[in-house]
Each structure stands twice: as structure tokens, then as C-alpha cells.
């Protein structure tokens, strides 16, 4: 085992090194007075955290209240930037720990591909079964533009450069001269961080968000994805050498950015089209760079080796077709370079002329032809790695880079269908019909090959916009390939008719086609998004209704009997609390999966998880393992949102480790199911009954506060920085659907973000304690049952650990400061007491169940990280309360005051490594 103490010493050394540089910068920019002020506040907060003292607490508050511009802003920035530096140091430490594992021959790291293959070997299954599991593996990760990334890309790029420098310090071969250079470079980068404006001065537009998403493909994902697949192939070959293993491309990235229309009027068909163009431009650029590099490597000469005559003839035949005389490779004997010249020309003409590749498969065939020819004059056991990597990249990314999901609200579709059906006298008011009547009409219309649409100007602007989206999808399939847009997601799906309405709109655009001879063509998956607790409960009946309809089964039959269903973690949690929402999500998957098996339909569940714990956050591997194990074989799809993108995919080593953990978890779990088919893995019926009871009580408690207390919304609006978040300019979407002030229309992201800032974090834990404690008190044996569930059931283990993490980041003492912002102190005190009591109730229950003496005692690295940050987050919270109070009391606040408030929000987000 790695020496943890020594490891943490290296981390502390990095933190100290970066902190000392920041101290120098503070002295340079604000004099010794600024440095002393920051140090004084830092020492007092550390002292209070170590041992609370009322006198020190009062002195700290007084010190903070006496701060005035411009010193106040510099103090805020000092603490905020310190968090950015801690984040970098901890990321670097993760990379260091992984490298030490690889260097020390002491067994494989948990959730590594080597570890997964070792476990798979122990199951003693045939190679055929293992290969079959591999063939069915599927992980799709969907990047989104959900506005939870508070850090600007410029700042992220500085962080990346600092991380690279820190890694170089670990090299024992670094000379004194090189170390001196690294120290100077590190100082320059931290200085740049201090001198960079961390706030956005305008809301990002959709295409800005597209560029931000593409950054991760360019920097890490394009190279990391093939590496994961190649490593799994290598491990299988080493541990199970009696088979020629082929690992298919089972990890794919998709995107919502530029396709997610729900509540975002800025995402137009034109923007979606531009997004697809930008994605294609990037992937073609990456292929271009790779092929230019391969041309340098493939200098093989026909004077030195024998190359297939057929290959040479193909090149000779193609050169005059695709190349002008001056474009041909000048050295005739370098046959591969002559071929690559043709490939490059065709690649650079994609989308521009008929000379260009029409489909990615044509490029793929050319590369495979070169690979197969070149490997004939290589030793059989030695593969041409570089060209194999490019082949896998083309298979993974095509000419579309990432499949773009389209999402819109069910109400938009119903309104358009209502108008279309009225215009052709099918029904006067479709929207007022019963669900049974709607299904009857939609079934008939979809069973008729004839179109319904009149001239476009016959419809309202709103309907024309909806129709334009479907026409754009049809055109995108022709221009970018059918992989460019494969799924249409329906927000707020509440009935079967919501899916058939989308199918009808697809039919009118020619995406779904019924021929006169009965043949069906369908080029788009139609996926419901089940979000609220009620929708999750209704989900099985919604899908059963569809599976019983011939018209929908005909659509599925040409989509390989494959149905995607998205599960929303955010709105369910906002609606019913995190514990109830997670349990209802688990149950919905079980019930829909079992029901779909009756119809021989394969389901893929799409988990709409956020980055924060209140929106289903957590590591990818624990997210995967916490699902009903029987659903994993059909594939997993998960959103990667906001700050998750930078924390997981900014650095190549971290990106690799994150994807390796996900791949190893899924592979091993699916093999385990194959080894014992039909068994109830991990859980027991009495455990599910227990969860049902706990969930019921938790839901009552949650809703009694959020919906039952008439003063709750007043408390939420005043005791959190909700109003101030809108000015942070971190996303193109409005904070509320329909720009409404109603709680139902408030998006889950600002809901979680606001509670996180005030350190109450109730979306991530509130009401869980009541459910757990009541169950423990019901029977003397119940605590022992919960302890067994924690040890043996990944779903419950993950749930309890996420609750522990939430309570670690929450802080009731700091949260109490925000009561000063509530106008009616009676309301403030009463609701805060309820939240505080529930906090300690939840904490006590979790410690009993986990057997820990302290929260997260089983994960000392994470626990230490939270403790390392807390003393530095506190001053920002105190400052935030003071500044928000001034802001709300001032009729025309200064720009400086608004900026200071936003800087505290940014700083707290960086300190907690969570926003929404």
C-alpha cells in the first residue's frame, strides 16, 4: 500500500508552495497591510474551527465588518484564488497517487482496468461470454451547458498550466537550473491568476458554450477515449492470453450544447446547425493533424519492402481523380505518403466539394486499407499503434464529433400538434381531449402515410419554430450523417401521447416514414424525460401504453427494439427531497426494465445527473454501481454538467482515470451478472421494503417544509443569494422557466446553487434523517438491517456516503449568519431551527449506520480536503452576508458593491467545489 502520510505531506508541500507565492503577490499588490489583514482573518477562522471561542468569533466579525474598498475586494479575491490553488494542488495529487500505484508493484489500483480484468478472470467464464459482454457494453457521457461552471475558461487554462508545472517538480531528474526555471514559471502563472478578471462581463451566448464544450474534446477527449479502449484490450490480452480480444468502442461522448431548447429561446435551429458545423470543423482539424503526423512516420519505400500490388494500383488509380499534378506526393517509391496525400485532400474537401469524403466510413476504409497493408511487413505480434489509434478515433467521432441530443418541452409539441390537427379538421381542440382520445387520433394519423401539413404560413410563429426544428434534423442527417442527431428528448413527459406527438412531428418532416406497402423507416429515437416524483411513479404505465400500440412498436422495430428513457435527478429532488427522489428513480428503473422485458424491448436509461450532490452528483463509477444491476447490460447514459467538465476533463490524466473508473465498474458488474444470471445481486426484498418506508417518511418531512410551510419561500428567497445569482453570467439560459417567479418554474440549478452558497445545502440531505431515524426506532433490529444494507448494497452505500459528504460541506454555524438577511426574524429562527434540528438528526443516523465516529471517516483524503477548505470559506460567507445586506438596502448600488458580491459567490463555489 502507498504511504498515505508521505503522500499527504507532498500535497501539503504543494499547497504551502502555492500559498507562499500568493502571499508574495498580496504584498506586491496591496502592501504588507493587505497580507497581514488576510493572515489575521485566516488565523482567526482556523482557530475558531479548531476550538470555538466566542471572543475570537466576535473579533473576526468585527475585522470583516471594518473592511472597506478597495481592500475588501482584495481580501475576497485572496481567499477565492487560494481555493483555485488548492483545487489545482489536489488534482495534481490525484495524478501523483495514480502514478505511484503504477510504479509500485503492489497490486492493481481499485477501479482500474487491470483490477477489473483480474476480477473477471476469477469468474472463470468462457472467452465467448466475456466477449459477448464486451460487445454489449455501452457508456454514453453527455456534456451539457447547464450553468454551474462559475470559473471562466481563461482561469481554467491558467490552472491547467500551473498543474503542468507542479507535475514537473515531481520529476527526480529535474536539474537545479530547470527547477529554478519552474519556480519562476509557477510564480508568473499564479501572478497571472491574480491579475486576471475572474468574472464574466456578459452572459455567455449559446455558441460561447459550444466553444467551451469543444475545448474538452480538443484538449483531452480526442486522445483519451481511444487510450481507454486500447488499455482494456491490452489487459485482456495479458491476463487472458488464449484469445484474440477485440474491444469495441463502448464509450461515447454526446452533447446537449446547442441542442437543448427547453426553456432556452436562444437555441434556435440556426444555432443547432452552426453547432454541428463547429463540431465537424474541430474533428476534421484533429484528423488532419493526425494524418500529417502519420505521413511523417510512414516513410516506407518500395525499394526496401514489398508492398501489395493491389494497394499500389489503387493509389495509382486514385491520384489523377483526386489530386492535381502539383498536389501529388513527389517521391514515387513512398507509396503510403502518396496515399496519405489523397486522404488529406479528400478530408479537406469534406462539405465543400464532391472530391471530399461523403461519409466517415469512406475515410475509415482508407485508413484500414493502409493499416492492413503496412502490418503485412511488420512482425505479426507488433501492431501499428498510431494508425490503429486514428482508426478508433474515426470510429468514435465520425464526422460529427459528438451526437447532439435535441430536447424540448412537451407543451411545445402539444401546442403545435393541436394547431396542425385543427387546420386539417382532424379535431377542433386536441389539447382538451382525454388521453385515450389523443392516443386514438395520434394512432390513426401515424398509421396514414399521407402528410398533414399545409403551407407554413398557415401556422403561428410558435408552431413554425417547432416544425423548423424537425426540418433541421432531417437536413442534418443528410449533411452530417444520422449519428449527428439520434435522440429527441421530451421534458416534462406526463403521458404516452407526449411521445406520439413527437413521432407525428417527425413524420411531417420525413424523419419517420410510413410507406404505402406498410414499410416503416424511423431515423430518430424518441425519449421521455421523467422528472417529478409523480412522473417517475407514472413512468411504467406510460411506457406500457406505448409498447401495447402497434404504431409505436413498428417505430421501435426499426430502431432495433431499443428505447431510451431519461431520468431527471434535479426536479425529482427539488420536488421530493434527495432520498425519496433517488429511491423513486431506482424503483422506476426496476419496474420499467422488468416491464420492457415482457415486450422484448431493450432499455437504455439516461441519468440526468448534476454535478452537485443535490442533483445526483458523485463519481461516475459509484453512479453506475448504484443503479439496479439488471439495467446495466443495456448501457448507461449520464450527463456531465457544468463544473464537472473542468474537474474531470481539463487534465488528461484526470480524464483518463475518471473514464477508467467508469469503464472498469461497468465491465466487471456486467460480467458478474453474466456469471450468475437471474440472481438478485446485492439487494433483498426486505431491504426494498425498508427503503420504501424510509422514503415515505422522508417525503412527508420534506414536503411539510418546502410546500407546507407558507413562509418557506420567503426564507429561501431572503436567506440565500438567489436574487444575486442571476448577475453572475454563467449560462445562456434564464434561471426560471417562462421567466416566472413560481417555485414550480424555478430551475433546479439555481435552487441548489443558492442553498450551497448559504452552506445549508438542504437539497442534498434534508429530510433523510427523519426517514432513517423513524425506521431505526420502529424495531430493535432495523439498525442492524440498515448497517447490512450499507455494507452490501451499492445503492444504499452510495446514498449514505453522498449524504455524509453533503453534511460535511454544510455548516449550520455559518448558515446561521444568513438569518440576518431575513426581514422577519421570527420566520428566520423558526425555519432555521427546523433545518438545524434535521441536520443533527441526519448526522446521528448516518454515523449509526456507517459505524463511523465522524462523517466520512472511511475516506480520510476527502475528509481532510473538506477540513482544509472550511476555515477559508467562512470569511467569504461572512463577507457575502454583509455585502448582500448592503446591496439589498441600497437603492442604486455601485458597480463595485455588485462585483464584490459576485466575487464572494465565485469564491464560495471554488471553495466547496460545487455550484448547482
- Active-site positions read 146, 574
Buried b (16+ CB within 10 A) or exposed e, 218-251: ebbbbbbbbbbbbbbbebbeeeeeeeebebebbb
Provide the grid cell at 464: 413554425
Provide the grid cell at 386: 498510431
- Separation CA 72–CA 580 (nearest Å): 43
Which residues, other chains included, contact 596 with Cβ-Cβ below 8 Å and sequence gap of 6+? Answer: 543, 547, 563, 602, 603
In 301-418 the beta strands, taken as DSSP E runs, fall at 403-404, 406-409
Q: Which helix (H) or strand (E) holds 846?
A: helix 825-850
Answer for the pair 529, 472: CB distance below 8 angstroms, yes or no. no
Q: What is the CA radius of gyration of the chain?
A: 29
**Length of the chain measured in residues:** 916
Whether the bond between 70 and the residue before it is cis, its omega within 30 degrees of 0, is yes
The DSSP letter of residue 249 is -
In 475-615 the beta strands, taken as DSSP E runs, fall at 487-491, 512-514, 520-522, 525-530, 562-568, 602-608
Which bin fits 263, alpha (ψ -120 to 50), beta or left (φ > 0)?
left
Write the DSSP assignment of 42-75 as a string of letters. Answer: HHHHHHHHHS--HHHHHHHHHHHHT--TTHHHHH
Closest CA to 743 of 766, 769, 709, 770: 709
Provide the grid cell at 835: 433545518
The two beta strands, 636-641 and 403-404, are unpaired
Which residues, other chains included, contact 379 with Cβ-Cβ below 8 Å and sequence gap of 6+? Answer: none
Hey, CA dihedral for 623, 627, 632, 636, is it positive or negative?
negative
Provide the grid cell at 350: 469534406
Map residue 126 onto helix, strand or coil.
coil
Provide the grid cell at 568: 431527471
Provide the grid cell at 733: 439560459
Answer for the pair 15, 89: CB distance below 8 angstroms, yes or no. yes
- Separation CA 655–CA 665 (nearest Å): 16
Map residue 233 onto helix, strand or coil.
helix
Q: What backbone phi and psi angles, to 5 degrees, belong to 52?
A: -65, 135
- Separation CA 895–CA 875 (nearest Å): 22
∠ CA 310-311-313, rounded to 5°? 65
Q: What backbone phi and psi angles, to 5 degrees, belong to 610?
A: -95, 180
- Separation CA 100–CA 63 (nearest Å): 44
Q: What backbone phi and psi angles, to 5 degrees, belong to 911?
A: -70, -40
How many beta carbons lie within 10 A of that of residue 6, not counting itself? 9
Torsion angle, alpha carbons of 126, 131, 136, 137, to 10: 100
Closest CA to 410 of 509, 503, 492, 526: 492
Answer for the pair 820, 886: CB distance below 8 angstroms, yes or no. no
- Separation CA 883–CA 900 (nearest Å): 7
Give every strand in the sheet of 562-568, ordered side by side: 403-404, 251-255, 139-144, 636-641, 602-608, 562-568, 525-530, 487-491, 406-409
Residue identified by cell 514537473 is: 168
Amino acid at each position: 500500500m502507498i504511504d498515505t502520510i508521505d503522500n499527504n505531506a507532498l500535497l501539503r508541500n504543494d499547497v504551502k508552495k502555492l500559498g507562499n507565492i500568493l502571499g508574495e503577490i498580496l504584498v506586491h499588490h496591496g502592501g504588507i497591510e493587505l497580507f497581514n489583514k488576510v493572515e489575521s482573518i485566516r488565523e482567526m477562522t482556523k482557530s475558531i474551527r479548531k476550538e470555538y471561542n466566542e471572543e475570537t468569533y466576535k473579533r473576526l466579525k468585527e475585522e470583516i465588518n471594518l473592511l472597506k474598498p478597495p481592500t475588501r475586494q482584495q481580501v475576497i479575491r485572496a481567499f477565492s484564488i487560494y481555493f483555485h490553488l488548492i483545487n489545482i494542488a489536489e488534482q495534481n495529487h490525484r495524478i501523483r497517487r495514480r502514478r505511484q500505484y503504477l510504479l509500485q508493484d503492489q497490486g492493481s489500483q481499485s477501479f482500474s482496468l487491470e483490477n477489473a480484468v483480474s476480477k473477471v478472470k476469477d469468474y472463470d467464464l468462457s472467452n465467448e461470454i466475456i466477449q459477448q459482454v464486451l460487445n454489449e457494453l455501452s457508456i454514453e457521457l453527455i456534456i451539457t451547458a447547464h450553468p454551474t461552471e462559475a470559473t471562466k475558461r481563461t482561469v481554467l487554462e491558467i490552472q491547467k498550466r500551473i498543474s503542468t508545472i507542479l507535475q514537473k517538480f515531481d520529476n527526480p531528474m529535474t536539474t537545479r537550473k530547470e527547477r529554478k526555471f519552474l519556480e519562476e514559471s509557477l510564480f508568473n502563472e499564479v501572478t497571472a491568476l491574480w491579475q486576471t478578471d475572474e468574472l464574466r462581463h456578459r452572459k455567455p451566448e449559446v455558441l460561447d458554450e459550444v466553444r467551451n464544450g469543444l475545448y474538452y474534446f480538443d484538449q483531452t477527449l480526442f486522445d483519451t477515449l481511444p487510450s481507454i479502449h486500447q488499455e482494456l484490450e491490452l489487459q485482456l490480452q495479458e491476463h487472458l492470453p488464449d484469445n484474440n480480444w477485440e474491444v469495441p468502442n463502448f464509450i461515447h461522448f454526446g452533447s446537449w450544447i446547442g441542442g437543448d431548447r427547453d426553456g432556452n429561446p436562444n437555441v434556435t435551429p440556426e444555432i443547432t446547425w452552426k453547432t454541428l458545423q463547429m463540431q465537424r470543423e474541430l474533428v476534421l482539424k484533429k484528423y488532419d493533424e493526425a494524418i500529417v503526423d502519420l505521413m511523417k512516420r510512414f516513410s516506407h519505400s518500395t525499394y526496401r519492402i514489398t508492398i501489395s500490388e493491389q494497394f499500389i494500383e489503387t493509389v495509382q488509380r486514385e491520384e489523377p481523380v483526386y489530386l492535381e499534378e502539383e498536389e501529388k506526393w513527389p517521391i514515387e517509391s513512398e507509396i503510403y505518403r502518396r496515399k496519405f496525400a489523397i486522404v488529406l485532400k479528400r478530408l479537406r474537401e469534406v462539405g465543400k466539394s464532391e472530391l471530399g469524403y461523403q461519409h466517415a466510413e469512406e475515410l475509415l476504409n482508407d485508413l484500414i486499407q493502409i493499416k492492413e497493408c503496412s502490418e503485412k511487413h511488420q512482425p505479426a505480434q507488433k501492431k501499428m499503434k498510431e494508425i490503429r489509434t486514428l482508426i478508433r478515433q474515426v470510429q468514435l467521432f465520425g464526422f460529427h464529433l459528438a451526437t447532439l441530443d435535441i430536447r424540448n418541452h412537451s407543451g411545445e409539441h402539444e401546442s403545435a400538434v393541436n394547431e396542425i390537427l385543427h387546420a386539417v379538421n382532424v379535431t377542433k381542440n386536441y389539447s382538451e381531449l382525454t388521453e385515450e382520445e389523443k392516443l386514438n387520433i395520434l394512432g390513426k394519423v401515424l398509421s396514414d402515410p399521407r402528410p398533414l401539413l399545409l403551407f407554413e404560413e398557415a401556422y403561428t410563429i410558435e408552431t413554425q419554430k417547432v416544425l423548423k426544428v424537425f426540418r433541421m434534423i432531417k437536413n442534418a442527417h443528410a449533411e452530417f450523417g444520422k449519428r449527428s442527431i439520434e435522440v429527441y428528448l421530451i421534458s416534462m413527459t406526463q403521458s404516452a401521447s407526449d411521445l406520439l406527438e413527437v413521432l407525428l412531428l417527425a413524420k411531417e418532416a420525413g424523419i419517420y416514414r410510413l410507406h404505402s406497402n406498410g414499410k416503416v423507416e424511423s431515423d430518430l429515437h424518441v425519449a421521455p424525460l421523467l422528472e417529478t416524483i409523480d412522473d417517475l411513479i407514472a413512468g411504467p404505465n406510460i411506457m406500457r401504453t406505448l409498447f401495447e400500440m402497434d404504431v409505436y412498436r413498428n417505430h421501435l422495430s426499426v430502431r432495433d427494439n431499443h428505447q431510451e428513457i431519461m431520468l431527471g435527478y434535479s426536479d425529482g429532488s427539488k420536488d421530493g427531497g434527495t432520498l425519496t427522489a433517488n429511491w423513486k428513480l431506482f424503483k422506476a428503473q426496476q419496474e420499467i426494465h422488468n416491464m420492457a422485458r415482457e415486450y422484448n424491448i431493450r432499455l437504455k436509461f439516461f441519468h440526468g445527473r448534476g454535478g452537485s450532490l443535490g442533483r445526483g452528483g458523485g463519481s461516475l463509477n459509484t453512479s453506475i454501481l448504484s443503479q439496479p444491476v439488471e439495467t446495466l447490460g443495456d448501457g448507461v447514459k449520464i450527463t456531465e454538467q457544468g463544473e464537472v467538465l473542468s474537474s474531470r476533463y481539463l487534465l488528461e490524466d484526470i480524464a483518463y482515470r475518471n473514464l477508467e473508473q467508469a469503464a472498469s465498474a461497468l465491465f466487471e458488474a456486467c460480467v458478474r451478472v453474466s456469471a450468475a444470471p437471474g440472481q438478485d445481486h446485492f439487494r433483498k426484498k426486505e431491504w426494498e421494503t425498508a427503503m420504501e418506508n424510509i422514503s415515505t417518511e422522508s417525503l412527508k418531512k420534506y414536503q411539510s417544509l418546502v410546500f407546507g410551510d407558507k413562509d418557506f419561500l420567503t426564507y429561501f428567497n431572503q436567506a440565500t443569494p438567489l436574487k444575486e445569482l442571476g448577475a453572475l453570467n454563467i449560462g445562456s439560459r434564464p434561471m426560471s422557466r417562462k421567466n416566472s417567479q413560481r417555485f414550480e418554474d424555478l430551475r433546479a440549478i439555481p435552487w441548489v446553487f443558492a442553498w450551497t452558497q448559504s452552506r445549508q445545502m438542504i437539497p442534498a440531505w434534508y429530510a433523510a434523517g427523519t426517514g432513517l431515524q423513524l425506521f431505526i426506532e420502529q424495531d430493535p433490529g432495523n439498525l442492524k438491517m440498515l448497517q447490512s444494507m450499507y455494507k452490501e448494497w451499492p445503492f444504499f452505500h452510495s446514498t449514505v456516503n453522498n449524504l455524509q459528504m453533503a453534511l460535511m460541506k454544510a455548516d449550520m454555524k455559518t448558515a446561521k449568519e444568513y438569518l440576518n438577511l431575513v426581514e422577519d426574524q421570527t420566520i428566520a429562527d423558526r425555519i432555521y431551527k427546523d433545518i438545524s434540528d434535521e441536520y443533527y438528526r441526519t448526522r446521528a443516523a448516518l454515523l449509526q449506520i456507517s459505524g463511523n465516529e465522524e462523517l466520512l471517516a472511511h475516506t480520510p483524503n476527502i475528509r481532510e480536503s473538506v477540513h482544509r477548505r472550511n476555515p477559508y470559506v467562512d470569511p467569504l460567507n461572512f463577507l457575502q452576508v454583509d455585502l448582500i445586506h448592503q446591496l439589498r438596502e441600497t437603492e442604486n448600488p455601485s458597480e463595485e458593491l455588485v462585483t464584490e458580491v459576485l466575487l464572494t459567490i465565485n469564491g464560495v463555489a471554488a471553495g466547496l467545489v460545487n455550484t448547482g
